[in-house]
């Protein structure tokens, strides 16, 4: 065998080894955040084994790229991530270090959940001006996983990819998806009914991470405590925001529970609004164990703030 053929054989062996999985073994899935991990469980049921790289009480932009996470990725059959550059600061080096061809870019096991949703807030400005707007996400707003229509889109992507990776489980994945959507349809009506008082109210949020929720529940975002994404608030901006809030009858200041709430409370108090520290991921508190728990908690927190 010539050297070139041997090298090719080595790569193919790697690819084959990478995809080797006994028919009875569970599909090993690693998700970048806990909400995606739970949606994987909803679709995959007993056929998959899921772990999350981050916890729901962490800021998903700034997860520590600990080498221990490489071990989970090394054994994974699929990596499910939010995409739109949310994890750009920590996930790419871990994936490269994983030495796992199954989850590299372009591989079937590399699952970008954002492909299942309609992406909002894609900046329409020249690339060389992007950073003047702060640490924005050039591919669009990645904080999309809470509204039911997006969860539905993510679940469909998961069912399709899991079926490709584990063809024997196609029926089970489709059944998991159908059961999830059936339950989601019912819950969606409940949530929208409960959240009816939120329609049309003006809100301020800490980071631009509630836009999809605001659109779903028909709230109007009129400002952000961060002057620009990723840029901590300044005194001048805070004063202007409070002035705007007073003029605009802002009802709620919404902040993710992983951000310090002292400044948000100051803004809310002085802007004559109520502060809502809301969870944004499964696992944000011990009681939030599933996607349904998460949306229940978000809707409850927002309505109770009125």
Give contact residues for another protein (rule: CB under 8 A): 10-11, 13-15, 17-18, 55, 57-59, 62, 64-68, 70-71, 74, 85, 88-93, 96-97, 99, 101, 104-107, 131, 134-135, 230-232, 257-261
Q: Which is nearer to another protein, 197 or 260 (CB)?
A: 260
Task: Report the nearest approach of another protein to the CB of residue 254 (Å).
Answer: 14
Give the count of beta carbons closer than 10 Å to the beta carbon of residue 273.
25
Q: Which is nearer to another protein, 56 or 147 (CB)?
A: 56
Task: Report the nearest approach of another protein to the CB of residue 57 (Å).
Answer: 5
Q: Which is nearer to another protein, 71 or 306 (CB)?
A: 71
Task: Report the nearest approach of another protein to the CB of residue 117 (Å).
Answer: 21
Task: Report the nearest approach of another protein to the CB of residue 206 (Å).
Answer: 11
Q: Which is nearer to another protein, 258 or 291 (CB)?
A: 258
Sorted by sequence, the CB contacts under 8 Å of residue 25 that are 6+ apart come out as: none
Q: Which is nearer to another protein, 10 or 306 (CB)?
A: 10
**C-beta pairs of 285-293 under 8 Å, 24+ apart in sequence:** 285/56, 285/57, 285/257, 288/56, 289/38, 290/38, 290/42, 291/35, 291/38, 291/39, 291/42, 291/151, 292/183, 292/187
Could you tell me which of 7, 12, 80, 98 has the C-alpha nearest to residue 40? 80
Task: Report the nearest approach of another protein to the CB of residue 149 (Å).
Answer: 28
Beta strands in 126-279 (DSSP E): 202-205, 220-224, 250-256, 274-278
Pull the structure tokens for residue 195.
């959240």
- For the sheet containing 274-278, what is the strand order? 220-224, 202-205, 250-256, 274-278
Q: Which is nearer to another protein, 62 or 186 (CB)?
A: 62
Task: Report the nearest approach of another protein to the CB of residue 68 (Å).
Answer: 5
């Amino acid at each position: 065998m010539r050297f070139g053929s041997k090298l090719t054989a080595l790569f193919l062996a790697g690819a084959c080894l990478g995809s080797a999985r006994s028919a009875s073994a569970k599909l090993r899935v690693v998700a970048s955040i806990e909400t995606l991990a739970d949606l994987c469980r909803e679709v995959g049921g007993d056929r998959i084994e899921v772990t999350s790289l981050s916890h729901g009480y962490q800021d998903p932009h700034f997860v520590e790229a600990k080498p221990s996470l490489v071990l989970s990725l090394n054994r994974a059959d699929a990596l499910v991530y939010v995409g739109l550059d949310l994890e750009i600061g920590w996930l790419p080096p871990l994936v490269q270090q994983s030495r796992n061809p199954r989850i590299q870019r372009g591989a079937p096991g590399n699952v970008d959940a954002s492909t299942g949703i309609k992406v909002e807030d894609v900046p329409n400005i020249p690339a060389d001006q992007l950073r003047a707007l702060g640490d924005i996400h050039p591919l669009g707003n990645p904080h999309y996983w809470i509204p039911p229509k997006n969860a539905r889109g993510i679940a469909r992507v998961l069912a399709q990819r899991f079926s490709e990776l584990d063809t024997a489980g196609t029926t089970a994945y489709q059944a998991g998806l159908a059961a999830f959507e059936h339950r989601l349809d019912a819950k969606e009506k409940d949530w929208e009914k409960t959240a009816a008082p939120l329609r049309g109210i003006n809100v301020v949020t800490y980071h631009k991470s509630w836009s999809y929720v605001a659109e779903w529940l028909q709230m109007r975002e009129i400002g952000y405590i961060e002057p620009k994404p990723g840029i901590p608030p300044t005194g001048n901006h805070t004063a202007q925001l409070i002035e705007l809030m007073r003029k605009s009858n802002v009802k709620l200041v919404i902040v993710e529970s992983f951000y310090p709430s002292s400044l948000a409370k100051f803004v809310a108090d002085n802007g004559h609004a109520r502060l809502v520290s809301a969870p944004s991921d499964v696992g944000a508190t011990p009681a939030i164990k599933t996607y349904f728990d998460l949306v229940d908690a978000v809707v409850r927190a927002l309505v109770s703030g009125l």
